[in-house]
Amino acid sequence: MLTIALPVPEESYDQETCADGWSSPESLGDMPEESLGTDDDFWGPTGPVTPEVGDEDRGLYRVHFPVAGSYHCPNMRLYFVVRGPVTIEIEFCAWDQFLDQIVPQHSWMVAGPLFDIKAEPGTVAAVYLPHFIDLQEEGVDISWFQVAHFKEDGILLEKPTRVEPCYTVLENPSFSPMGVLLRKIHSFLSIPVISNVLLYHRLHPEEVNFHLYLLPSDCTIEKAVDNEKKKFQFVRIHKPPPLTPLHIGSRYIVSGSQKMEIIPEELELCYRSPGKPQLFSEFYVGHLGSGIRLQIKSKNDETVVWEALVKSASPSPPDALDLLHFMDQHRAQLVTRVTSVDAILDKLHGQVLSEEQYERMQKGHFWLKTDSGDGHLEGLE
């Protein structure tokens, strides 16, 4: 049997590295420079490998690794070391359907996403399961970590081969629905976690609607929230995560630089299974102008734990392409009926158009030309 030396991490880890998913246990410096891929791909010895999506709503994926080596997916934060070519199936799962098997429940805390992984026995030398516990903070003992396997005859708790920042490692693993649990030795202990802020917006005729989430860094929760927001035409604005560890059960205050009503202003950082509604703050902004500055502070000591600037160019309309298709389909009617372009540009300015786009259109770089009377859309810059 082919023997593979398992990678030993040499890089340093921090809050942002773990939260954004790029904390691969081995350096990505040997990647071919010409390789182009996305955070949804698995990065391996031959470059990016794109998973097949079986059911995006369920989070069901199938990926074929062509050669032996190490493969890491930034978005899933999963990492495999394989002994040869292998096809692996991955499904995002929700903890709540299994938690009643954990006895006693109050002694355990969910510490990472739950995956149902399928692979031929013996083909995977190691799997790195992501966790969101911050090991840089004092008070967390790696002996508290266990990997939970949910099988037909019940739950099996397995001691990991080792625990690293961002990952719990199993060598020569067997697969089933599996994820990381943390034993709560002291009920009063506040557990430091790696967290993420998800910010979404939706355009209205007179204002912009924002939803802000403060969550443990868990790809299955983020996927569930993304899917839910898309149903209501919300678009995500990607911002960096908090750079300091936050604590489960602690409360945080959301505020903005403009006078705005934020409901609720206070959010509790808590774990809720992907199948359940997540807590968020909602607010509306009439005109972004030069931008708004958002902050999240600890309610306990008012320390700023997260800050971001949202400018008028940041939100983009979720249906911008649909708008262009509509204009092209109905160009003749638009040309004959639209008499005042300036009024339309003023309406779009600051919500759909940036300052530069607005000025260029006013100067005539955007035009509808009706040669031959067919209303064809001749120019769009």
Q: Could you read off the pLDDT of 263-273 as tens digits, one per residue?
A: 999 999 999 99
Clarify whether residues 54 and 179 are in a common domain: yes
Percent of the chain exceeding pLDDT 90 equals 55
Phi first, then psi: give them for residue 279, nearest 5 degrees.
Answer: -75, 140
Over residues 190-224, the pLDDT tens digits come to 889 999 999 999 988 888 999 999 999 999 999 99
What spatial distance separates the first Cα and last Cα of the chain, rounded to whole Å?
59
321, two tokens: 């392409």
Clarify whether residues 206 and 167 are in a common domain: no
Clarify whether residues 164 and 216 are in a common domain: no
**Mean pLDDT across the chain:** 80
Which structural domain range is residue 80 located in?
15-183
Q: Is 160 helix (H, G, I), strand (E, B) or coil?
A: coil
Clarify whether residues 56 and 111 are in a common domain: yes
Clarify whether residues 238 and 280 are in a common domain: yes
Q: What pLDDT score does 359 carry? A: 60
* Closest of 345, 377, 373 to residue 359, by C-alpha: 345
Q: What pLDDT score does 269 carry? A: 96
Q: What pLDDT score does 369 carry? A: 37
| pLDDT at 126 exceeding the cut of 50 | yes
Residue 6 near residue 126, CB atoms below 8 Å: yes
| pLDDT at 29 exceeding the cut of 60 | no
Mean pLDDT, rounded, for 59-77 = 96
Q: How many domains does the chain have?
A: 3
Q: Which of 151, 183, 215 is the last residue of a domain?
A: 183
Clarify whether residues 140 and 241 are in a common domain: no
Pairwise CA distance, residues 347 & 175, whole Å: 56
Clarify whether residues 373 and 284 are in a common domain: no
Q: Which of 143, 160, 183 is the last residue of a domain?
A: 183
CATH number reported for the structural domain that contains residue 255 in this entry: 2.60.40.2660
Buried b (16+ CB within 10 A) or exposed e, 228-247: ebeeeebbebebebbebbbb
Residue 189 lies in a domain: no
**Orientation angle between helical segments 355-362 and 341-348, nearest 10 degrees:** 170
| pLDDT at 368 exceeding the cut of 50 | no
Band the pLDDT of 58: cuts 50, 70, 90. Answer: confident
Residue 188 lies in a domain: no
Band the pLDDT of 100: cuts 50, 70, 90. Answer: confident
Residue 6 lies in a domain: no
DSSP string of 38-98, one letter each residue: -TTSEEETTEEEPPEEEETTTTEEEEEE-SSEEEEETTTTEEEEESSSEEEEEEEE-GGGT
CATH number reported for the structural domain that contains residue 89 in this entry: 2.60.220
Over residues 130-174, the pLDDT tens digits come to 999 999 877 789 999 999 999 888 899 999 999 999 999 999 999
Q: What pLDDT score does 173 carry? A: 97
Clarify whether residues 65 and 125 are in a common domain: yes
Q: What pLDDT score does 104 carry? A: 72
Residue 33 lies in a domain: yes
Clarify whether residues 295 and 324 are in a common domain: no
Q: What pLDDT score does 185 carry? A: 77
Clarify whether residues 249 and 210 are in a common domain: yes
Q: What pLDDT score does 357 carry? A: 57
The mean-pLDDT minimum among 115-124, 226-235, 336-345 falls in 336-345
CA torsion 256→259→260→261, rounded to 10°?
110
Residue 211 lies in a domain: yes
Q: Which of 261, 279, 310 is the last residue of a domain?
A: 310
Pairwise CA distance, residues 346 & 360, whole Å: 13
Clarify whether residues 270 and 348 are in a common domain: no
Residue 7 lies in a domain: no
Residue 239 lies in a domain: yes
The mean-pLDDT minimum among 46-60, 77-91, 245-259 falls in 46-60
| pLDDT at 94 exceeding the cut of 60 | yes
Clarify whether residues 281 and 334 are in a common domain: no
Residue 315 lies in a domain: no
| pLDDT at 276 exceeding the cut of 50 | yes
The mean-pLDDT minimum among 74-78, 214-218, 245-249, 288-292 falls in 288-292
